[in-house]
Structure 1
Amino acid sequence: MKKRLIIQGMHCANCVKGLEMVLTEDVDGVSIDKIDLEGGYADIFVEDGVTDEALKIAVEELGFELKGIE
């Protein structure tokens, strides 16, 4: 299933790289489609069983704010 994470607090390419790493390494069943720094979102694919709460924890672990999941 595809989801869009609306993320506040990303400022640079290192932010994008860190987010990509934490989502794919800390949350089993997530793959990245696109992370848009300027747009403030990440499009991801999640397998069944991946909870929105797990995604929120991973994003906020980096100091970003998860504003919403579409």
Structure 2
Amino acid sequence: MGVIGYGLGVIGAGLAIGLSALGATGAMARQPEVQGRVFTVFIMGSAFGEALALIGFVVALIVK
């Protein structure tokens, strides 16, 4: 059962990082002059998405 929870956590993290990258590249294509700020926000979003995957992994280990 814990493996299913971890799998769902990884799917959520993958979607979060993918949507973050989609938004960042779209914003940089529209306004290249704000690339630095957009990239910073993208890195923060990716870190939060990856943290969700790690939390899912820990919860899967605890539930097991």
TM-score interval, normalised by the smaller of the two chains:
0.3 to 0.5
Name the TM-score, length of structure 2 as normaliser: 0.34
Which of these two proteins has the greater Rg computed from alpha carbons?
2
TM-score by length of 1: 0.32
Q: Which structure dedicates a bigger proportion of its chain to strand? A: 1
* Highest RCO, 1 vs 2 (Cα 8 Å, sep ≥ 6): 2
**Whose helix fraction is larger, Structure 1's or Structure 2's?**
2
